[in-house]
Structures are given as structure tokens and as C-alpha cells.
Structure 1
Amino acid sequence: MTERIGSRKGPKEKGARKVIKEGDFVLIDLTGTVRETDETFDTTDEERAKKAGIYREGTTYEPRLVVVGDGWVLKGIDRRLVGLEVNKSYRIVLKPEEAFGPRDPKKIEVVPYRMLRAEGVTPRPGLSVRYKGREAVVRSISGGRVQLDYNPPLAGRVLVYDLSIRRVLRDPKEKIAALIHRWLPSVDTKAFTIRIRGDKV
């Protein structure tokens, strides 16, 4: 489900495209929460990240670059970006099938506590561990046995994304600079000149 929840004033450019199309380079602000608990698990807002306890030192909090249709975001969001309008805000609700998938009981395993200790791990409920080359979350400990859950942490959850479409990048040089910034955020793209000659940059 996609619901428009507001709009913001943005620069009006002659000939500017107002509707997102597949292949567009767009900058979006977003915040993702779990519907059942209202827990924030992802955001481009630094203050929101700090309040939610998910702030990461060294992370740049700013509108996120997405190439629509290229799988840079969850498939449920990627598909719904097409047709949205620039400078407007939306709420997108994703069912588990559109996000991290349903919970799979076959991905839950019970192992002896001593085997984890032999791996140098002191398990406790909620701890993320790596066991036999796989990432898991400790769900419970009882009678010397530990329940490990190999499902993605957000599997089976209904997710709510509040997002705002900030800009569509049209200029090829601007797109290249944005790509460099996405993959190398510490690089100051204003410190060098981008030249395009044919199919070479």
C-alpha cells in the first residue's frame, strides 16, 4: 500500500519531470519502522537515528541515492517508486513477501551451549552470532541448549516506510558524482572535475 502523506516546496525547473520513472536517479529521504512495534530500523535522519538507538558513528545521514528498478532498495519499495511525484512524501506499507520474506521455521536450530562456547561465543538472547559460517540471532537459552534463528531479523514483519522524493538527477555529470559519493562517501566530489567524452568518463 502506498499513501501520499504530504508535499514539500522544491525548486521549480522548466521542463522538470515530476513523476518518477524506471531508471531514474533519485535522492530520497526515508525512515523504516516495524508496524507491530513502531521500532525504527533504518533512517536517513541523523536525529531520528540517535533517538532510535541505531546511530552509527561515521555514517553520513543524508538523502539516499536510488536508481529506480535496479534493486538498490527492497523490491516492494523499488516497484512503488515508479509513478511517485518529486517533492512529495509517501507512506509505503510492505508485507513480509515484499520485504524480507516470511519467517521459515526450518531456519531455526537448537544447538548445545558448549558448542557455541567452543567457538568463543557467549550467547545471550538477542545476540547476533556467526555459527558454522552463517549469521544467526540467539532467540532463547534453556537447559544448556541455545535456539538460533537464521531468518533475517525482519523476516515475517510488516514494514512501514515514510519517504520523501527530494530530487531527480538528470545531468550525467551529476549522476556520476552521486554514484561516486554513494560508494566512496569520504571522497569530496567537488574537489575534482568530471569530464565525459563519448562513453568514457
Structure 2
Amino acid sequence: MRDLTVGPGTRVTLHFSLALPDGQLVDSNFESSPATFTVGDGKLLKGFEQALFGLREGAREELTVKPEAGFGAHNPNNIQTIPRSDFEPELELSQGLMLSFADAQNTELPGVVVDFNDEEVTVDFNHPLAGRDITFKVAILQIEPAQVH
């Protein structure tokens, strides 16, 4: 075992799970191959990454990541009302339906239908986990110096 801790300049291999406070599992790799990331490479949200700082190989932790450090606060400005005529007439709408939209830069943007009628459709563009605490369980398997290219 090396005497490294998770922080800038390290490459980390770990098992993790993300769950809602009620225990509902969102994602986990405990039953499959571990994930590897280099601190700062963008593979892990910054708040989740920073929650790991200071942990050593072999550490097993359960951490709570607040919305501001995770998927962001729920922003009411991200709920948009769009004319029904902007959607294909044959599209069968339902509450909770996830659709893909393109923003002004033509970047794909997911949105969830929260309400609709014959005139308009209300779509929530917040991340589905925005505004929620996330229970982040980790098992740090390996920490090594990051390779500088």
C-alpha cells in the first residue's frame, strides 16, 4: 500500500454507489468492474471528487453530497413552457417522459415532461437529481500518482 491520499495529482480506482436519502439506488459499480479516474479529469463531478479528498487506499466511506456540490440546486428557471405545436403531432406525451432537445449551440439537452395539454407542454430541464442530497458510498481500491502527459 502506498501512503497516498486522494487529491490533486492522483489517479483513483474505486467502487461507488449513488443513492437517494430513501435508499433508492441511482447508480453502482460494486457488482461490476471498478471505475478509475484522475482527479480533475471531469469524469466525476467536482463535489463528489472533493468528498474523496484525504481518503486512503482501503477506505470505505458513506458520504452525503449536498445538491450544491452534486447535481445542482433545482432551478425554477429551467422549467419551460413550449407550444404543443412545436412537437410532432403523433408524439404521445406523458408525465415523466424524457425527451431530447437541442439548445442554441445545437447541444443535446434532456428534458422531462411535467405537464401538458392541447396548447402547451411544460418541460423541466433540471437534472433529474437536482436539488437532492445524494448518499455516496465508496471503496477506494487503489491510489497512484497521475501520469503527466
TM-score when scaled to structure 1? Answer: 0.62
Larger relative contact order (CA 8 Å, sep ≥ 6): 2
Contact persistence 1:72–1:78 (CA under 8 A): no
User: Which residue of 17, 24, 49 maps to 1:31?
Assistant: 17
For residue 82 of structure 2, what is the amino acid of its counterpart? V
Contact persistence 1:136–1:150 (CA under 8 A): yes
Give 1:127's aligned residue.
Answer: 97
Q: Superposed, which structure 2 residues align to 1:117-196 within 5 Å?
A: 117-118=88-89, 121-133=91-103, 134-142=109-117, 144-169=119-144
Give 2:28's aligned residue.
Answer: 43
Contact persistence 1:69–1:79 (CA under 8 A): no
Q: Deviations over 1:100-122 (max 9, x none)?
A: 1111111111223342224x633
**Counterpart-to-counterpart distance in 1, 2:28 and 2:135:** 12
Structure 2, unpaired ranges of 5+: 104-108
**Counterpart-to-counterpart distance in 2, 1:132 and 1:69:** 28
Q: From the superposition, tell whether residues 72 and 132 of structure 1 become closer, same or farther in structure 2 (CA, over 3 Å).
A: closer
Give 1:79's aligned residue.
Answer: 50
**Counterpart-to-counterpart distance in 2, 1:21 and 1:151:** 29
For residue 23 of structure 1, what is the amino acid of its counterpart? G
User: Which residue of 61, 79, 94 maps to 1:108?
Assistant: 79
Q: CA deviation at 1:143?
A: 5.2
Structure 1, unpaired ranges of 5+: 1-12, 47-60, 176-198
**Counterpart-to-counterpart distance in 2, 1:106 and 1:20:** 36
For residue 126 of structure 1, what is the amino acid of its counterpart? G
Give 2:106's aligned residue.
Answer: none
Instruction: Say what the alpha-carbon RMSD is for the aligned residues.
Output: 2.4
- For the residue of structure 1 that corresponds to 2:88, the secondary structure is helix
TM-score when scaled to structure 2? Answer: 0.82
| Percentage of matched positions with identical amino acids | 25
**Counterpart-to-counterpart distance in 1, 2:70 and 2:41:** 15
Contact persistence 1:93–1:159 (CA under 8 A): yes
Q: Deviations over 1:98-155 (max 9, x none)?
A: 011111111111223342224x633211111123543211112245432101111111
Matched positions, count: 144
The structure with the greater share of residues assigned to strand is: 2
**Counterpart-to-counterpart distance in 2, 1:158 and 1:77:** 12
- For the residue of structure 2 that corresponds to 1:76, the secondary structure is helix
Q: CA deviation at 1:71?
A: 3.2
